[in-house]
Chain A
Amino acid sequence: MIRDVAIVGAGWSGFRSVTPELSHKELMYDAAVRAYEDAGIDPRRDVDTFVTVGEDYHEGISIFDEYVPDQLGAVQRPVQSIAGEGIQGLASAVMQILTGRFDIAVVEGHSKASNIMTLPHVLAFAMDPVFNRPLAVHPYAIAGMEMLRYLSETATTPEECAAVVAKNRSNALFNPLAGYGASISIDDVLIAEPIAEPLSRLECAGHSDGSVVFVLAAGESARVLSDHPIWIRGIGWANDTFWLESRPWGDARYARAAGEMAFRTAGIRSPSKEIDFAEVDDTFAYKELQHLEALGFCSWGTAGEWTLEGGTALGGEFPVNPSGGALGEGHLLDATGLARVLEVVLQLRGQAGQRQIDAAEVGLAFGWRGVPTTAGAAVVLSN
């Protein structure tokens, strides 16, 4: 990249299935205070630009960006709100720093999923109104169809997908932030009732409320502010064709494209050799496998076997979702990708407590915007 950019502050709040004691603004304020304290900055004085990710239908208010500045300390400052995956928001903040016009940027994402009384309806409203919505199919059926196609194209087994759930929810037990930690077996997952075959209930991430805030700084500022800046080496994002009628159902091509862009900017030729661990979207268990393959951490169709053998476990050769992922932390709507980034930051700083990975030097975070989208974003971070 033409300028070095690092994460110098990280804050979070919530990460629980309900947060009735705090309004969404108070939740965001809580996360922002921690991030600014972590970075040792005063947002009213030091931050040059703010980016928030969110989606009006998730907020329950139109033009929600009006409601963002106060709780971030961003009143009368440059503020941009984007409807996108959290890592797309991070990319936007990085680009603003790369312009040379801004030195310190803040990015925020949040979820008050528990406040959306009709979340499946809101999700279904994302389906094409002419071609798909009249069929009145729950959007999770898209995940079921995608999973079936993925299994049949790769010979991945339901057991291998279930192993993702057992691993991630077990990892979450070591993560004080995660609300969905559990010790469950592969069999538990397989005998759970189907949501949309072959997808079982336990293979779908539950929802969480929460907020994640990062402070980003350009090279020199980052070195001044932090003893341990986490460098953003490369970032990329991509969408595939939307058509359910003709999208590539087995292969997460959007993840491949996003990863290639991030690796290209990071100068990474062999992701599996140059990266030590990853946090990748696991909104549905099979998605973790599909994303690992598309990102090039293993060859096509082998992620399931790798997972079943423990290769991606906490003590494995390439830990995946040490935080517990979305299955273990809960899905944070548009902030889900930022939760993936948060864990990479904590791991690289050596602040991951009981789930700390030895000699974690380079990590990748990958976010997906969920059904029915084909939107993904990847970021490579390092010490």
Chain B
Amino acid sequence: MEEFVYDSVYLSSDDFREGRVLFEMWEPNARYAWDAGVAISRYLQGLKAAKLIGRSCPDCSRVLVPPRMFCESCFYPTDKWVTLRDTGTVLTFSRCYITWDLIQLEEPQMPAVIEIDGASSGMGIMHMLGEVDPEALAIGMRVRAVWKPPDERSGSITDIAYFRPLEE
């Protein structure tokens, strides 16, 4: 196949910085304040009090966490708040060597989905693992939430610092 090679140069970031090329640059000013609603509000209040709260579906009897006001499987309104334990089982995990803003890491972050004790099978919350040798991670590992001190908790998923292995 014939190859076309154009007489061209690549633009460098210096070309933009020093104004050697013409360009328009915009950053969106898009800010939001979401109404948390019933389920998320109660969940965040629970986190502030160092409690994990779920919600049960009367139709399929599953306990859903994070809580929601309807069951996506049955399309039925959930009807009961359930306080769950802050222990669980690693459902899946990764050793991640880049941060979300693309900074390379020597020591990996360890995001995991943790099936929470008291919630239905397959119902987990996504969080981070800590105080554990990355090489020791395994599916099925038993873990417990490490809560931030009360005065540092703000009603956020980060009120849990991370989950660490449970000594049983």
Nearest chain A residue, comparing its CB with the CB of B75: A73
A192 smallest CB distance to B (angstroms): 27
Contact B69 A26 (CB under 8 A): yes
Contact B72 A117 (CB under 8 A): no
Contact A19 B35 (CB under 8 A): yes
B60 smallest CB distance to A (angstroms): 11
B136 CB contacts on chain A under 8 angstroms: none
Give Cα A69–Cα B75 distance, bound, in whole angstroms: 11
- Pick from B22-30, B45-53, B111-119 the stretch touching chain A: B22-30
Contact A122 B30 (CB under 8 A): yes
- With beta carbons under 8 angstroms apart, the residue of A21, A121, A133 that contacts B30 is A121
Give Cα A10–Cα B32 distance, bound, in whole angstroms: 29
Give Cα A43–Cα B73 distance, bound, in whole angstroms: 11
- With beta carbons under 8 angstroms apart, the residue of B26, B70, B72 that contacts A125 is B26
B100 at the binding interface (Cβ < 8 Å) = no
Contact A22 B70 (CB under 8 A): no
Contact B72 A23 (CB under 8 A): no
B6 at the binding interface (Cβ < 8 Å) = no
B4 at the binding interface (Cβ < 8 Å) = no
Contact A134 B35 (CB under 8 A): no
B74 CB contacts on chain A under 8 angstroms: 44
Nearest chain A residue, comparing its CB with the CB of B73: A75
Contact B35 A25 (CB under 8 A): no
Nearest chain B residue, comparing its CB with the CB of A70: B72
Contact A24 B24 (CB under 8 A): no
With an 8 Å Cβ cutoff, the count of chain A residues facing the other chain is 35
Contact B26 A71 (CB under 8 A): no
B75 CB contacts on chain A under 8 angstroms: 36, 42-44, 73
Contact B33 A115 (CB under 8 A): yes
A76 smallest CB distance to B (angstroms): 9
Give Cα A42–Cα B31 distance, bound, in whole angstroms: 37
A-contacting residues, B43-89, CB 8 Å: 68-70, 72-75, 77
A57 at the binding interface (Cβ < 8 Å) = yes
Give Cα A122–Cα B29 distance, bound, in whole angstroms: 7
B35 CB contacts on chain A under 8 angstroms: 19-24, 112, 114-115
A130 at the binding interface (Cβ < 8 Å) = yes
Give Cα A118–Cα B77 distance, bound, in whole angstroms: 33
Give Cα A118–Cα B68 distance, bound, in whole angstroms: 28
B58 smallest CB distance to A (angstroms): 15
Give Cα A36–Cα B28 distance, bound, in whole angstroms: 38
Give the dominant DSSP class at B's interface.
Answer: loop
A29 at the binding interface (Cβ < 8 Å) = yes
- With beta carbons under 8 angstroms apart, the residue of B28, B33, B38, B40 that contacts A121 is B28
Give Cα A43–Cα B36 distance, bound, in whole angstroms: 25
B10 at the binding interface (Cβ < 8 Å) = no
B125 at the binding interface (Cβ < 8 Å) = no
Give Cα A23–Cα B32 distance, bound, in whole angstroms: 13
Give Cα A27–Cα B70 distance, bound, in whole angstroms: 12
Contact A57 B30 (CB under 8 A): yes
With an 8 Å Cβ cutoff, the count of chain B residues facing the other chain is 23
Contact B26 A133 (CB under 8 A): yes
- With beta carbons under 8 angstroms apart, the residue of B30, B38, B39 that contacts A60 is B30
Contact A70 B37 (CB under 8 A): no
Give Cα A44–Cα B74 distance, bound, in whole angstroms: 7
B-contacting residues, A15-48, CB 8 Å: 19-27, 29, 33, 36, 42-44
**A44-B75, A73-B75 known; A129-B32 Cβ under 8 A:** no
Contact A122 B28 (CB under 8 A): yes
Give Cα A114–Cα B31 distance, bound, in whole angstroms: 11
Contact B34 A26 (CB under 8 A): no
B36 CB contacts on chain A under 8 angstroms: 23
A134 CB contacts on chain B under 8 angstroms: 24
Contact A25 B33 (CB under 8 A): no
Give Cα A130–Cα B22 distance, bound, in whole angstroms: 11
Give Cα A118–Cα B32 distance, bound, in whole angstroms: 7
Nearest chain B residue, comparing its CB with the CB of A75: B72
Contact A23 B31 (CB under 8 A): no
B-contacting residues, A109-129, CB 8 Å: 112, 114-118, 121-122, 125, 129
Nearest chain B residue, comparing its CB with the CB of A128: B24
Contact B38 A26 (CB under 8 A): yes
A71 CB contacts on chain B under 8 angstroms: 70, 72
A24 CB contacts on chain B under 8 angstroms: 34-35, 37
B40 smallest CB distance to A (angstroms): 6
Contact B24 A29 (CB under 8 A): no
What 17 additional pairs, Cβ within 8 angstroms, besides A112-B35, A121-B28? A20-B35, A21-B35, A21-B37, A23-B34, A23-B35, A23-B38, A24-B37, A26-B38, A33-B77, A60-B30, A70-B68, A70-B72, A71-B72, A73-B72, A118-B30, A121-B29, A125-B28
CB pairs A–B below 8 angstroms (26 shown): A21-B37, A22-B37, A23-B36, A23-B37, A24-B34, A24-B35, A27-B37, A29-B70, A42-B75, A43-B75, A44-B73, A44-B74, A57-B28, A57-B30, A60-B32, A70-B72, A71-B70, A71-B72, A112-B34, A116-B32, A118-B29, A122-B29, A129-B24, A129-B26, A133-B26, A134-B24
